[in-house]
């Protein structure tokens, strides 16, 4: 079924410390061809994340010697303080985005993807129960889930959903997959089984959509029909 972050994350993590300099961060990013890295303390606990964007923002903010150009339009006080801090930043601890948005290895890949989207980040440090860094999950890592072949997806739908969880005979439902789009045709026992099969199919790794062609034998959403009793007694004549 759905894969978890621990199965797709990168375990060899390039990291920085509070005191890592601007130039060393730039060198690490270039050497390892990455766009960001976590900042950790002496106990490997994640303090924040520093990215190419942070470095570019530092350069755009002006020189570190305090001789920044005078702006014609003054930003809001909070933004002004942030811009001034960025302009003075020379280490990872001063430039990093903090606190870091992290995930745990047992979380589902789809949950991690939603967290990335919600926070607008490209990478998530993966931490253990004590918040120590054990890996990193990037957008590329999560996208690997969707690179499975159509035949692999089809077989998982049959084995895990239909004959596995639903205990249906192999001939009951025909499964076809094209570019990750799953089409289900056939008949299940109950009407309530249809949304369940669709929901379980969506959870299979690599599925990008489900086309429902399922029918059902029994409508178990309707109350049972009431039949008049056949043994009613009749009053005798006097």
Q: Which one has a higher pLDDT value, 34 or 63?
A: 34
Instruction: For residue 195, give the CATH number of its domain.
Output: 3.30.1340.30
Closest CA to 211 of 168, 235, 176: 176
Residue 218 β-bridge partners: 190
Residue with tokens 């890996």, as numbered in its chain:
135
Q: Which one has a higher pLDDT value, 143 or 197?
A: 197
Residue with tokens 């309530």, as numbered in its chain:
192
Is residue 200 domain-resident?
yes
Residues 58 and 90 in one domain: yes
- Looking at the chain, the whole-number percentage of residues with pLDDT higher than 90 is 58
Does the model's pTM come out above 0.85? no
Q: Which two three-digit tokens encode residue 148?
A: 């499975």
Residues 112 and 17 in one domain: yes
- How far apart, in whole angstroms, are the C-alpha atoms of residue 110 and residue 96? 26
Residues 45 and 128 in one domain: yes
Residues 197 and 114 in one domain: no
For β-strands 16-17 and 46-51, DSSP reports them as unpaired
Residues 135 and 201 in one domain: no
What is the arithmetic mean of pLDDT over 144-153? Answer: 85
- How far apart, in whole angstroms, are the C-alpha atoms of residue 84 and residue 58? 10
DSSP3 helix / strand / coil % (the chain, rounded to 5): 35, 25, 40
Is residue 230 domain-resident?
no
Task: Give the pLDDT band of residue 75 (cuts 50, 70, 90).
Answer: low
Burial class for 144, CB neighbours closer than 10 Å (0-12, 13-18, 19+): middle
Q: Cβ(187)–Cβ(212) under 8 Å?
A: no
Choosing from 145, 175, 207, the residue where a domain stops is 145
Residues 126 and 37 in one domain: yes
Closest CA to 165 of 193, 207, 205: 193
Q: Which one has a higher pLDDT value, 54 or 107?
A: 107
Provide the pLDDT for residue 235: 45
Whether the predicted pLDDT of 66 surpasses 50? no
Is residue 228 domain-resident?
no
Residues 39 and 112 in one domain: yes
- The per-type count for the chain, helices as H runs and strands as E runs, is 9, 8
Residue with tokens 């993966």, as numbered in its chain:
126
Domain that holds residue 28: 5-66+73-145
Lowest mean pLDDT among 44-53, 99-108, 117-126, 221-230: 221-230
- How far apart, in whole angstroms, are the C-alpha atoms of residue 125 and residue 121? 11
Q: Under DSSP, is residue 156 helix (H, G, I), strand (E, B) or coil?
A: helix
Residues 26 and 90 in one domain: yes
Residues 159 and 140 in one domain: no
Is residue 224 domain-resident?
no
Residues 120 and 22 in one domain: yes
Whether the predicted pLDDT of 83 surpasses 60? no
Q: What are phi and psi of 68, to 5 degrees?
A: -70, 150
Residues 134 and 157 in one domain: no
Is residue 90 domain-resident?
yes
Instruction: For residue 20, give the CATH number of its domain.
Output: 3.10.580.10
Domain tally, the chain: 2
Is residue 204 domain-resident?
yes
Q: What are phi and psi of 12, to 5 degrees?
A: -85, 105
Residues 98 and 193 in one domain: no
Whether the predicted pLDDT of 18 surpasses 90? yes
Whether the predicted pLDDT of 72 surpasses 80? no
Is residue 19 domain-resident?
yes
Is residue 84 domain-resident?
yes
Q: Which two three-digit tokens encode residue 184?
A: 């289900």
Whether the predicted pLDDT of 207 surpasses 60? yes
């Amino acid at each position: 079924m759905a894969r978890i972050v621990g199965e797709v994350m990168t375990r060899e993590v390039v990291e920085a410390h509070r005191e890592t300099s601007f130039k060393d961060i730039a060198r690490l990013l270039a050497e390892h061809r990455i766009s960001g890295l976590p900042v950790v303390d002496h106990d490997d606990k994640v303090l924040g994340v520093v990215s190419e964007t942070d470095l570019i923002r530092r350069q755009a903010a002006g020189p570190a010697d305090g001789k920044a150009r005078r702006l014609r339009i003054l930003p809001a006080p909070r933004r002004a303080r942030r811009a001034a801090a960025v302009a003075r930043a020379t280490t990872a601890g001063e430039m990093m985005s903090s606190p870091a948005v992290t995930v745990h290895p047992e979380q589902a890949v789809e949950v991690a993807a939603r967290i990335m989207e919600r926070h607008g980040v490209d990478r998530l440090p993966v931490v253990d129960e004590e918040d120590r860094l054990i890996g990193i999950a990037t957008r590329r890592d999560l996208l690997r889930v969707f690179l499975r072949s159509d035949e692999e997806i089809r077989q998982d739908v049959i084995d895990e959903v239909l004959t596995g969880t639903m205990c249906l005979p192999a001939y009951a439902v025909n499964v076809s997959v094209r570019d990750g789009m799953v089409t289900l045709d056939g008949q299940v026992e109950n009407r309530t089984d249809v949304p369940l099969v669709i929901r379980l199919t969506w959870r299979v790794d690599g599925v990008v959509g489900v086309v429902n062609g399922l029918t059902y034998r029994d409508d178990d959403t309707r109350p049972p029909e009431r039949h008049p009793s056949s043994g009613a007694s009749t009053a005798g004549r006097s």
